Amino acid sequence: MKRILCGDLVPGCTFKAQAETEAEVLHVESDHARNVHGLNVTPPFLERARSRIRDVELAVAADEATD
């Protein structure tokens, strides 16, 4: 399972996209960024988003470490 936190791309946003594959997560995040934030989803945006995708197990461990 893969996850991205929109707040890593758009400060202050609490949206989380989660799906089985990286491609699915990018699709969900791209739709959210376009429809909610009014962003143009460009190749640089997609690359930045791709670099912030985490495995759910790793993301949960990192979240717990900051609590």
What single letter denotes the amino acid at residue 51?
S
Q: Which residues contact 14 (CB under 8 A, 6 or more apart)?
A: 6, 7
Specify the pLDDT at position 21: 96
Rounded CA Rg of the chain: 12
CA-wise closest residue to 5 among 58, 65, 42:
58
pLDDT-derived band at 54 (thresholds 50, 70, 90) equals very high
In what helix (H) or strand (E) does residue 4 lie, and over which residues does it extend? strand 2-5
Please check the confidence at residue 30 and state whether its pLDDT lies above 60: yes
For 6-25, the pLDDT digits (tens) are: 999 999 999 999 999 999 99
Whole-prediction pTM: 0.80
Dihedrals φ, ψ of 16, to 5°? -125, 125
Specify the pLDDT at position 34: 97
Please check the confidence at residue 63 and state whether its pLDDT lies above 90: no
